[in-house]
Structure 1
Amino acid sequence: MDSPPGPVAASDGFSGWLERRFTLTERGTTARTEVLAGVTTFLTMAYIVLVNPAILGSAGMPVAAVAAATCFAAAFASILMGFMSNTPLAMAPGMGLNAYFSYTVVQQMGVPWQVALGCVFISGIAFLLLTLTGIRQLIVASIPNYLFAAVAGGIGLFIGFIGLKDAGIVVANPATFVALGDLKAPSSALAIFGLLLIAALSVWNVRGAMLIGIVATTLAGWVMGLVSISPEPYSLEALTGTAFQLDIAGVLGLSGRQGIGLLEIIFVFLFVDLFDNIGTLVAVTKRAGLIDENGKIPKLNRILVTDATATVVGSMAGTSTVTSYVESAAGVQAGGRTGLTAIVTGLLFLAMMFVAPYAQVIPLAATAPALIIVGGLMLLPLVEVEWEDPMSAIPAFLTVAMIPLTFSIANGLAFGITAHALLKMVRGTLSRTDWFLLVLALLFVIRFIWMGGA
């Protein structure tokens, strides 16, 4: 007598759907492998749930609400990426752009965080339109690859510098601009402990090294009496402090000197997101073996449309630009080959929303070490610069140096692109296809004249 087919058939049906939807066998993977890969990716990038609120919180945004928005944006983007492109690429609010949002746009330029979120929203819409109209290819073609690498490296130094400052390891000095801080101060000592712990866990290849290090440092601070842990009851109302708070009218209504600044803000959000995505996509898809025989990334437009959509949704939830995470490579290393990996990562971020309010108990001394480590790891692309060739070395150096030294990604981009265009003119290698590069360089020169050192 045959056994009832009910539960088994349902299970087979679901397994069959997974197979058809994500082409598991074709890509040499299984559902179990994809789930494990998704968990691995989540552990390697879960630190953003603690670090992003710390950075945006310094801009006056409610920390608990930002933590929830971070979880929601990462969940929405990763799940959408999995279904849209069937790529093991997880997404979350991007490091570097969150620092630019907080330290440059809000604190340095004096733009209210609600208006800054409006800029993020508009940059997402612009990215979507550029992708759908094909102008994105024109932009990418006008910028040399070594400047992509230089921007990534400069942002790494920027993030690392912020981490050293938050840790009290580097402090202001009227004579030398910066100097070594008091390493015996309790908060600095705690940050150094966290830095050593994360570094040790990383070299031991412990999954979730940064997350473990942040939590352990917070607990150590609590034991030392440096952290007051008094979590409040879970409140959905507290999590809506940033949702739909973006001020688009504030963006469109500003004019004059500040208006030009806002155009620059949108430009930086758009370009850095574009650069970051191209670099991450190449790195992750190469490792996953998904690049086709022509060297192209399958379903690239779907990936970029997903990225733009995620940024728009993220700004409405209350966080800075959402982008692809290179930590996705950890999941690929664990065997992830399909969008199911990204979906599992997204579901874990969704579950984490319910503990998001407790992110406000994490001190700067605990998140600063993660910023320093992340900043260091972001220097890897600099090996792609041909440092022996002045044609690439000079613009690359200016880009890398000006981002942390002027506390502005925009300044680094401006110096690098302008220097590249000028050197091509001097060398006599400009061609008709460089017209967009010249337009960008001219706009940057006008920006320098108009805004001066602002």
Structure 2
Amino acid sequence: METLNRIFKLDQAGTSVKREFVAALTTFVSLSYMLFVVPNILSASGMQKGTVFTALVIASAIGCFLMGLMANYPIALAPTLGSASFFAYTVCQSMKIPWQTALAAVLIASILFVLITVFKLREIVINAIPQDLKYAISSGIGIFIAFIGLQNGKIIVNSESSLVGLGSFHNPSMWIALFGLVITVILICLGVPGSIFIGMVLTAIFGIAIGQIALPQQIVSTPPSINASFGQALVHIKDVNSVQLWIVVITFLLVTFFDTAGTLIGMTQQAGLTDEDGNIPRIGRALAADSTGMIVSSIAGVSPLGTVVESSSGIAMGGRTGLTACFVGILFLISMFFSPLLQVIPTTVTAPALIIVGVYMAGNLAKIDWNKFEVALPSFLIVLGMPLTYSISDGLALGMIAYPITMLASKRGKDVSLAMYVLAIIFLIYLWIINI
């Protein structure tokens, strides 16, 4: 106990080993749905669910240990749904880029993230993009994720006359998704900890009860091998050799960087870890842990790690130090032996989780200054562009290109940073290349 107290400064933080463990258990239960949602998402890229599951568990555990030991924050790391969706649906499906090359792009983005942190360029990068556009990026990704969830649950389907339409109530998959959505919403409204995970379990049981989901042959097994994905990022790093792929790298960097920065700000404020001026102590260490975790995830074979908002549930239970994050890492390692449960958690079961996470992320829409048209238009193009183009990077490009134009037209061109003009040109080239 004394050793843990010395490493994590438990007494100074006014906490205990027991409280940190309870906080970690709460955080893990809250984010455990990712163990099943992320493999389902990444399977759309051609990756094997079992391989992704093991890679996710290992990378997340290492990421949590890094955050706990380097920054001493009660914040967990795991693949975020936004980056996983961009990886699978935009990069691999829409752009037809092999998942091995996509992992190489993640590796390069994570190395750039490390360099930005080491050379303390994060302030320049953060300040380059206006706050309104940052909110729009987060909201747009949330709506895109929710749209994917509605599709996976067969609630929204293809329509020849109107592109999309409401699914058929004769489809049992739709009933499973609707059941899960309703039950999870009720649990969240009641304030039940781990509502998304519990809702997923109840949805799977419902699917089994109506004969649409088969029971697993076993519960515990040896973890699936990651040989198929391990090290592929290193092998294929030479394939990142086009403007299109470098746009992918930049987008991965932007999405993960701003998602991490925003989550860190929110979580540290909730835990009362900021100083009198609202600054985050050890922010450099936290970003270093996150960027190093991204490197680990790309080499292991899973989409980028990021700080997860579900950490707020553990903080609410009293988690105040990195011991909470380390305990979460241990729980991730234990979960490695439950991969057979993947077969009873199909996309129809995880669909409600995507929809609800989308609702949470869309909350940033309220923070955009809609009264200023020169800001509202590019923000709107980002938010609407992501789901309608079925591409995070395409939606991002539309807003990034529009912003300098609207600002110049409003005679506010001097308020636009040089970096934003450069980004606009890069994204313009990107749109031209993908449409040749």
TM-score normalised by the chain length of structure 1:
0.92
The yes-or-no answer on 1:64 pairing with 2:50 is yes
- Match of 1:274? 257
- Contact map agreement 1:285 1:291 (CA 8 A) in 2: yes
Per-residue deviation, 1:245: 4.7
Alignment of 1:262 with 2:248, yes or no, is: no
Let me know the Cα RMSD of the aligned residues: 1.8
Q: Is the 8 A contact 1:242 1:317 kept in 2?
A: no
Find the counterpart in structure 1 of residue 342 from structure 2.
359
* Alpha-carbon shift at residue 233 of structure 1 (Å): 8.5
Give, in whole Å, the separation in 1 of the partners of 2:223 and 2:75: 31
* Alignment match of 2:364 (pick from 375, 381, 386): 381
Structure 2: how far apart are the matches of 1:73 and 1:400? Answer: 30
Query: Which residue of the partner structure matches residue 342 of structure 1?
Result: 325
Deviation at 1:428, TM superposition (A): 2.9
Cα 1:386/1:346, change in 2 over 3 Å: same
Please name the residue that 1:313 is paired with: 296
Tell me how far apart the structure 1 counterparts of residues 39 and 286 of structure 2 sit (CA, whole Å).
26
Matching residue of 2:189: 203
Offset, 1:26: 2.1
1:405 alignment partner, one of 367, 388, 407: 388
Shift of 1:279: 0.9
Q: Identify if the C-alpha distance between structure 1 residues 78 and 398 changes in structure 2 by more than 3 Å, giving closer, same or farther.
A: same
Given the alignment of the two structures, is residue 35 of structure 1 paired with residue 18 of structure 2, yes or no?
no
Partners of 1:41 and 1:345 lie apart in 2 by 7
Is 1:331 aligned to residue 329 of structure 2?
no
Q: Residue 184 and residue 318 in structure 1: after superposition, are their counterparts in 2 closer, same or farther (change >3 A)?
A: same
CA distance in structure 2 between the aligned counterparts of 1:433 and 1:151, rounded to whole angstroms: 18
Report how far residue 431 of structure 1 moved. 3.6
**Alpha-carbon distance in 1 for matches of 2:240, 2:278:** 44
Provide the C-alpha distance between the structure 1 equivalents of 2:382 and 2:375, rounded to a whole number of angstroms. 11
Q: Describe the SS at the equivalent of 1:306.
A: helix
Matched, 1:392 2:363: no
Distance apart, 1:247 and its partner CA: 4.2
**Counterpart amino acid of residue 401 in structure 1:** L
In structure 2, the CA distance between the partners of 1:138 and 1:93, relative to structure 1 (3 Å rule), is: same
Q: How many residues align?
A: 436
Following superposition, the deviation at residue 108 of structure 1 comes to 1.4
Q: 1:20 Cα shift?
A: 2.1
Deviations 1:176-225 (Å, cap 9, x if unpaired)?
Answer: 11110102311111111111111111111111111111122112212211
CA contact (8 A) 2:222 2:337 kept: no
Q: Whole-Å Cα distance in 2 between the matches of residues 62 and 231 of structure 1?
A: 19
Aligned equivalent of 2:122? 136
**Residue 12 of structure 2: SS of its match in structure 1?**
coil
Q: 2: CA distance between counterparts of 1:254 and 1:344?
A: 37
The gaps in structure 2 that reach 5 residues or longer are none
Deviations, residues 267-324 of structure 1 (Å, cap 9, x unaligned)? 1111100110111011101111111122211111111111111111111111101000
TM-superposition CA deviations, 1:54-113 (whole Å, max 9, x none):
111122211111111111111111111011001111110111110111111111111111
State how far apart, in whole Å, the 1-side matches of 2:137 and 2:370 are. Answer: 15
Contact kept in structure 1, 2:54 and 2:224, CA below 8 Å: no
Structure of larger gyration radius: 1
Distance in 2 between the 1:104 and 1:396 partners? 20
Deviation, 1:251, is 4.2
Equivalent position amino acid for 1:358 in 2: L
Deviation at 1:373, TM superposition (A): 1.0
C-alpha deviations, 1:98-153, integer Å up to 9, x for none?
A: 01111111111111111111111111111111211222221111111111111111
Cα distance between partner residues in 2 of 1:35 and 1:253: 43
Find the residue that maps to 1:240 and give its secondary structure: coil
Asked if 2 retains the 8 angstrom alpha-carbon contact of 1:29 and 1:335, the reply is yes
Distance between the aligned counterparts of 2:307 and 2:98, measured in 1? 26
Please give the secondary structure, in 1, of the residue aligned with 2:225.
helix
